């Protein structure tokens, strides 16, 4: 006989043995007894099981098994090698620090449902202490329970015959508890050295599994989320759009995609620094989240662009209502580095009503609408319609059309009046280039000016604009007897080209215009060369006598430090300062200080974006010299008789 068996030793602990029995024969050869030997193979069996469980758990990890699968294997192992134990595995949720049950073995369902460590409970609170202290604890549950307040869990443990609880934390570097193994025992006493070793082996394997699960979770999070804002990223947004399209095909459910671009973010980022820029993006993300429903998705699309997927809409107006909420939300300033900063977003909308929907087409349509919104001014929105779609027209074809339009004098120049706030008369005009193609209709400057740059005809367009603007305003000066000025926008690229000075000089001499009647508008970036110093082109323009205006002033507080060094003539106050009063937030002190500083430096100021009588009142209150905006008229084609509309009468 050579058979395995279970024996009960003197300590009442079961051990695995090999039972060997040999017969004893008498002198006459008859059996007279037997010699029975017991070989304790518990250690050998445990070693074999340990090798087996390590292999099974590692194979499960390699096969992509989760924490539950590994926990089940380890529970089965511990309950086998430490009889009289019911094992439960817990984990700490990394973000919330909550403790949750992962798996439980031979535990009755009623008790299993109650096994969630709670510091307020006498028994489970001790388990929590073991986890927090990161050291094993043995709880004499029988004695503790009988002396305790008999909580619901305690009563359940008593009814289940539990006399002790062994708690063993699962540690991960650096000095961090990530989980807990609890053995609910039907007898008292602490684990012996062998049992401690078995539990430590299980805890080590559990830690490997938890580490792998955490790494996978972090990789998955990084794959689908933006680290800076915590929002879903472009990849997850595209997946969400695909699901929305599938639902729409099955149920005709309306949804919308909003693309949002932070207006003038690059200027803000350059002026305030990248750390402030990051703070701004995080705050924008937070504000966008509060403007949508829980089933909508807000994502970071690119560097300074965001996307929103609006599900289950009843009509187009639902999407517009969300846009209105966003605009109201951005009516209040962002507090960045103790500075109130007004930020606006331009929004393009594409709806699922368009035919032959794909993810790419939805994004493309929203982007086209976004470009149209930006053309209308900062803080605006537009909804895609087929008439806006120039994307299917090859770039070379559009460039060819632009060449022909320039050669045939088919481009247009529109003028928007700039009026004196003190006297009420029109003082000058801003010249704005337009292109109305016979086939494609109105094409935004944001679309065709980059084409002109790529085609190498930007200098020709600038020359054309200067010629037409100076010619038209000289005519108005003669017909009215007034010294009207005209302002022309100049890009950063043009400011790096010395040809601009020659073009300006030629236009002034050709029509005999006083150089002081030509105002060149440019951004702070355009005024500086790449070393951060005033450009040489700017110095040469100043020698001609033309005047220089800093456009979009106020988008960053470092602009103040450049005013004196740049030697400019005017600042155009960013519309956000003027329109902030609509959101009930006054920025009068900051804007008023800007105007005061400009005046002390001998400059005049123009308030942009005047659209209501309230905007005009704000411009008056901060002391602006001139004002410009839709309140006085939209840009119009130059006529023989200038549009000399006066500023509306002063309002109380």
Q: What φ, ψ does residue 536 adopt, rounded to 5°?
A: -65, -30
* pLDDT recorded at residue 424: 84
3-state SS assignment for residue 133: helix
Classify domain 402-637 at the CATH topology level.
TIM Barrel (3.20.20)
Does residue 547 or residue 148 have the better pLDDT?
547
* pLDDT recorded at residue 142: 53
> In the predicted model, what is the mean pLDDT of residues 185-193?
83
> 154 falls in which pLDDT band (50, 70, 90)?
low
Percentage of the chain surpassing pLDDT 70?
Answer: 79
Looking at residue 82, the DSSP 8-state letter turns out to be S
User: What is the tens place of the pLDDT at every residue in 459-500?
Assistant: 899 999 999 999 999 999 998 899 999 999 988 778 878 899
Mean of all residue pLDDT scores within the chain: 80
> In the predicted model, what is the mean pLDDT of residues 334-338?
83
What would the DSSP string read from start to end of 417-429?
EEEETTT-SEEEE
User: What is the tens place of the pLDDT at every residue in 626-651?
Assistant: 999 888 877 888 665 565 655 453 43
* pLDDT recorded at residue 463: 93
Q: Is 369 exposed, middle or buried (0-12, 13-18, 19+ CB in 10 A)?
A: buried
Does the pLDDT at position 88 exceed 60? yes
> 64 falls in which pLDDT band (50, 70, 90)?
low
**Maximum distance among all alpha carbons in the chain?**
151
Does the pLDDT at position 4 exceed 90? no
Q: Is 283 exposed, middle or buried (0-12, 13-18, 19+ CB in 10 A)?
A: middle
* pLDDT recorded at residue 548: 92
> 556 falls in which pLDDT band (50, 70, 90)?
very low
CATH ID of 44-223, from 1.10.357.10, 3.10.20.600, 3.30.450.40, 3.40.50.1860: 3.30.450.40
Weakest mean pLDDT among 172-181, 239-248, 276-285, 616-625: 172-181
Half-sphere exposure of 70 (CA within 13 A, CB side): 28
User: What is the tens place of the pLDDT at every residue in 99-111?
Assistant: 788 888 887 777 7
* pLDDT recorded at residue 119: 44
Report the CATH superfamily, name and number, of domain 234-388: Reverse transcriptase/Diguanylate cyclase domain (3.30.70.270)
* pLDDT recorded at residue 530: 42
CB 309 within 8 A of CB 240: yes
Does the pLDDT at position 588 exceed 70? no
Does the pLDDT at position 31 exceed 90? no
CB 14 within 8 A of CB 83: yes
Does the pLDDT at position 124 exceed 90? no
> 393 falls in which pLDDT band (50, 70, 90)?
low
* pLDDT recorded at residue 564: 66
* pLDDT recorded at residue 120: 47
* pLDDT recorded at residue 649: 36
Least Cα distance to 625 among 379, 428, 470 occurs for: 428
Looking at residue 645, the DSSP 8-state letter turns out to be P
Does the pLDDT at position 9 exceed 70? no
């Amino acid at each position: 006989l050579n058979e395995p068996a279970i024996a009960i030793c003197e300590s009442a602990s079961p051990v695995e043995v090999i039972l060997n029995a040999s017969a004893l024969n008498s002198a006459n050869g008859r059996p007279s007894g037997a010699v029975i030997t017991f070989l304790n193979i518990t250690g050998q069996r445990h070693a074999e099981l340990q090798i087996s469980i390590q292999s099974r758990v590692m194979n499960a990890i390699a096969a992509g098994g989760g924490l539950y699968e590994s926990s089940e294997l380890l529970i089965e192992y511990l309950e086998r090698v430490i009889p009289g134990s019911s094992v439960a595995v817990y984990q700490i949720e990394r973000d919330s620090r909550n403790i949750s049950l992962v798996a439980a073995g031979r535990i009755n369902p009623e008790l299993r449902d109650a096994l969630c460590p709670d510091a307020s409970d006498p028994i489970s609170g001790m388990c929590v202490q073991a986890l927090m202290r990161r050291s094993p604890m043995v709880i004499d549950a029988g004695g503790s329970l009988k002396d305790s307040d008999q909580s619901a869990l305690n009563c359940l443990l008593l009814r289940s015959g539990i006399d002790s609880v062994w708690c063993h934390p699962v540690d991960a570097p650096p000095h961090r508890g990530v989980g807990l193994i609890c053995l609910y025992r039907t007898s008292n006493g602490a684990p012996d050295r062998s049992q401690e070793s078995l539990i430590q082996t299980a805890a080590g394997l559990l830690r490997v599994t938890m580490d792998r699960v955490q790494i996978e979770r972090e990789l998955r999070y990084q794959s689908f989320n933006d680290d800076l804002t915590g929002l879903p990223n472009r990849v997850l947004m595209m997946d969400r759009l695909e699901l929305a399209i599938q639902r729409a095909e099955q149920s005709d459910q309306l949804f919308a995609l909003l693309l949002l671009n932070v207006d003038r973010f690059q200027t803000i980022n350059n002026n305030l620094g990248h750390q402030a820029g990051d703070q701004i993006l995080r705050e924008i993300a937070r504000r966008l989240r509060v403007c949508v429903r829980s089933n909508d998705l807000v994502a970071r699309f690119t560097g300074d662009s965001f996307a929103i997927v609006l599900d289950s809409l009843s009509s187009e107006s639902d999407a517009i209502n969300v846009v209105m909420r966003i605009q109201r939300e951005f009516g209040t300033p962002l507090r960045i580095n103790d500075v109130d900063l007004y930020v606006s977003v331009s929004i393009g909308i594409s709806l699922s009503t368009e035919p032959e929907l794909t993810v790419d087409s939805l994004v493309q349509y929203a982007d086209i609408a976004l470009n149209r919104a930006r053309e209308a001014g900062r803080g605006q929105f537009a909804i895609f319609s087929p008439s806006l779609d120039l994307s299917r027209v090859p770039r070379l074809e559009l460039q060819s059309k632009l060449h022909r339009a320039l050669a045939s004098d088919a481009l247009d120049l529109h003028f928007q009046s700039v009026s004196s706030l003190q006297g009420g008369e029109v003082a000058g005009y801003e010249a704005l280039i337009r292109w109305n193609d016979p086939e494609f209709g109105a094409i935004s400057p944001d679309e065709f000016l980059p084409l002109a740059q790529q085609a190498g005809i930007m200098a020709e367009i600038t020359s054309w604009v200067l010629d037409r603007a100076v010619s038209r305003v000289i005519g108005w000066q003669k017909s009215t007897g007034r010294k009207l000025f005209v302002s022309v926008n100049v890009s950063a690229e043009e400011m790096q080209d010395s040809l601009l000075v020659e073009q300006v000089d030629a236009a002034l001499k050709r029509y005999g215009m006083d150089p002081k009647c030509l105002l060149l508008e440019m951004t702070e970036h355009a005024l500086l060369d790449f070393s951060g110093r005033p450009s040489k082109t700017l110095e040469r323009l100043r020698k001609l006598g033309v005047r220089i205006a800093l456009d979009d002033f106020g988008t960053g507080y470092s602009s103040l430090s450049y005013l004196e060094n740049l030697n400019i003539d005017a600042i155009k106050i960013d519309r956000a300062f003027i329109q902030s009063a609509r959101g009930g937030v006054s920025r009068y002190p900051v804007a008023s200080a800007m105007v005061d500083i400009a005046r002390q430096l001998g400059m005049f100021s123009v308030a942009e974006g005047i659209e209501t009588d309230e905007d005009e009142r704000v411009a008056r209150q901060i002391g602006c010299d001139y004002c410009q905006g839709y309140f006085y008229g939209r840009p119009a084609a130059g006529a023989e008789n200038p549009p000399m509309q006066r500023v509306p009468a002063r309002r109380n």
